[in-house]
Amino acid sequence: MPEVIVTAVPAFTDNYIWVLSTGGAECAVVDPGDAEPVFSALRRDGLELACILLTHHHADHIGGVARLVDAYGAPVFGPHDPRIPGQTRSLHEGERVEVPLLGLEFEVIEVPGHTSTHIAFHGHGCLFCGDTLFSVGCGRLFEGTPEQMQASLDKLAALPPDTRVFCAHEYTLANCDFALEVEPSNAALRRRASAVEAARVAGRSTVPSELGEELAVNPFLRSREPSVVRAARRRNPLAQPGASTLAEIRAWKDAF
């Protein structure tokens, strides 16, 4: 199995477009919401685009696809969703997607919640999860129920703990502020929050994170932990471990 090299291409104010390569001249790109920064990065690194992978239909994830396809003729793999035009192949739960010319292969995981057709790509020790799981947070529930998001996060939580989590936004600092409201005495979270603050002051990215650490600090992966359930019950005394706690803390974060 080739080792994957992942490079961040910042886009808009806080998006990350991920460029995947294996040391050769070809690369794949995940969620190119804007074509221009991808063109610049590929020119800089002397890379040709071999494939486009998409996690969901939002414009800040697919907005650059048409121009990249025009320029490179790369195939487009993403979820089955008519809101994503120009796809070469639609992907479903459990399918394996081979990235042409790179020798990389990813497992497709359906993770509805943020959108109804959101997928994630897992392979080579990496998870590309779009707007489903963020570092110390999760995506807003635009099209899914808390139960769906809970089931989606449970699938991701079951991956190996050393999985590197490549989410699509630099939201970690604000997510830490919120998570500390939920779990002020979580020592691992306090350490993570300090490290994140230092990284952002120094202008460094906080992504990727490691799944094992997310399990210790991310309140949305911890909806069955007594401390998180207790925090949810301050808002709704009927909150139970799991989806109803997730629902409470998601609604809390939406207004935070």
- Catalytic residue flag (residue 57): no
- Catalytic residue flag (residue 60): yes
Could you tell me the CA-to-CA distances from 185 to 112, 151, 212 in Å, in that order? Answer: 31, 27, 19
Q: Which of 31, 34, 61, 81 is catalytic?
A: 61
**In the 3-class helix/strand/coil scheme, how is the chain assigned residue by residue?**
CCCCEEEEEEECCCEEEEEEECCCCEEEEECCCCCHHHHHHHHHHCCEEEEEECCCCCHHHHCCHHHHHHHHCCCEEEECCCCCCCCCEEECCCCEEEECCCCEEEEEEECCCCCCCCEEEEECCEEEEECCEECCEECCCCCCCHHHHHHHHHHHHCCCCCCEEEECECCHHHHHHHHHHHCCCCHHHHHHHHHHHHHHHCCCCCCCEEHHHHHHHCHHHCCCCHHHHHHHHHHCCCCCCCHHHHHHHHHHHHCC
| Residue 37 or 241 with smaller CB distance to Zn ion | 37
Q: How far is the CB of 67 from Zn ion (least distance, A)?
A: 20
| Residue 192 or 253 with smaller CB distance to Zn ion | 253
- Catalytic residue flag (residue 70): no
Q: Which of 57, 114, 122, 124 is catalytic?
A: 114
Q: Which of 34, 56, 81, 118 is catalytic?
A: 56
- Catalytic residue flag (residue 56): yes
Count Cβ atoms below 10 Å from residue 26 Cβ, excluding itself.
18
Binding status of residue 110 toward Zn ion by CB under 5 A:
no
- Catalytic residue flag (residue 131): yes
Q: How far is the CB of 57 from Zn ion (least distance, A)?
A: 8
Q: How far is the CB of 114 from Zn ion (least distance, A)?
A: 6
Q: How far is the CB of 10 from Zn ion (least distance, A)?
A: 17
| Residue 58 or 192 with smaller CB distance to Zn ion | 58
Site for Zn ion in 50-109 (CB under 5 A): 58
Show the site string, 147-186: x = touches Zn ion by CB under 5 A, - = not.
----------------------------------------
Q: Which of 58, 118, 122, 124 is catalytic?
A: 58
| Residue 56 or 192 with smaller CB distance to Zn ion | 56
Q: Which of 26, 31, 34, 131 binds Zn ion (CB under 5 A)?
A: 131
Q: How far is the CB of 141 from Zn ion (least distance, A)?
A: 11
| 1-6: long-range pairs with CB below 8 Å, 24+ | 1/103, 1/124, 2/102, 2/103, 2/104, 2/124, 3/124, 4/104, 4/124, 4/125, 4/126, 6/126, 6/164, 6/166, 6/208
Site for Zn ion in 215-234 (CB under 5 A): none
Q: How far is the CB of 72 from Zn ion (least distance, A)?
A: 24
| Residue 131 or 214 with smaller CB distance to Zn ion | 131
> Per CB under 5 A, which region of 38-46, 76-84, 124-132, 242-250 contacts Zn ion?
124-132
Q: Which residues are catalytic?
A: 56, 58, 60-61, 114, 131, 169
